[in-house]
Structures are given as C-alpha cells and as structure tokens.
Amino acid sequence: MQYRRAKIEGGTYFFTLVTHKRKKFLCEPENISLLREAFRYVMQRHPFTIDAIFILPDHLHCIWTLPEGDANFSTRWRLIKSYFSRNCDSQYYGNMTTSRENKKEQTIWQRRFWEHLIKNEQDFIFHVDYIHYNPVKHRLVNAPSAWEYSSFHRYVQQEIGSSRLCVIIFAYGIVKCLSGNTFRTILSKKLSV
C-alpha cells in the first residue's frame, strides 16, 4: 500500500528530516548558516511559520504552520533540501548510487521526510516538548537550554516576558502553555530560524 501524506490547508505539521546515511554535518557553522539561508529563501517564495525547530548533527525536527488555503509542504521541503544540497561543500556528499544519479539527486539528505499532522493543542505541546528535549534525549547536553540550535531559547524569551500564562519546568526546560487560547497565539508567531 502506498503511503499517503495528510495534507490540510493551513495545517500545522511536525516534520523529521535526516541526512543521508545519518552523516553528522548539519551543526557545522557553515551548514547552520546555509540551512538558515535555505529556509529564508523558501519562506520568501512560499510563506510558512516555523513554530518550533531544533537541529542535530544528523537530523532536524520542526513544526510548521502553513498559510490558509495552502497544504503544499512537500514543495517547500524539496526546495529547502535542494537549495542546501546545491550550495553545501562537496565534502558532505555521500557515495552516489545509480538510482540517485539517474534521478539527479545529491547524497546529502535521505530521500523522504516524515510528517505528522498536529491535531490539537495537546498534540502541539507534546511535539514542541519533544523538539526542545531532543538534544537531551540524544545525550548531547544536560538541558535543552544548553543546545544552541533550538527554538527553545525563543520560547523562553517570548513566553516568560509576555502576559500569557506559561510555566517552564526547569528540570527539563520544557515550555508548558496553560491558557486556553495560547495554542493559536503560539501558532501565529513567526520564529526566526
């Protein structure tokens, strides 16, 4: 049975993108800059909101909200991946297979990505928590605040100083938003990459 992606116009999605053969190079300073550039390039042409993101050496997770009337996240990912692949240093390329060569694909990313349609506020909070806690899960740091390439810092900065009722669970560094209308407020925020 063929996999079918859930596409909801204006939807909010959790994504996972992985490097080819889990090669660890995304957190090199030049690659972080290039990823930011790729996101900006695509966002100018095909707007979307990045609600949460973190980047590890071999993969990234993020949550996006698409504009009303738009469900095309696949094109956005294709453009981001191809922009990055065309502009990154060739030292990060993997071994080329005949299949990839025939399709004119680079060996920077795994071919596909994984997505999950966010269903409600609880699902959103769960996935934001997952994103921000992931560097701890992978034993790269002891607390989310110690990982540089994460939207966790933006959440702390924007939520603590605002009038929204949010609490940080400091043991895990996870943002929990408690007000009923916070979900849509957070989704409408534009977080910089």
**In terms of residues, how long is the chain?**
193
The answer to whether 155 touches 148, Cβ cutoff 8 Å, is: no
Instruction: Calculate Rg over the CA atoms of the chain.
Output: 17
- Cβ neighbors of 154 (< 8 A, separation 6 or more) are 191, 192
Q: Any idea what DSSP says for residue 92?
A: G
Which positions ≥6 away from 79 have C-beta within 8 Å?
A: 38, 41, 42, 45, 46
Tell me whether residue 149 is one of the annotated catalytic residues.
yes
Tokens of 189: 């925020």
Neighbours of 117 (CB within 10 A): 14
DSSP string, 15-70: EEEEBGGG-S-TTSHHHHHHHHHHHHHHHHHS--EEEEEEE-SSEEEEEEEPPTT-
List 13, 92, 133, 149, catalytic entry: 149
Active site residues: 149
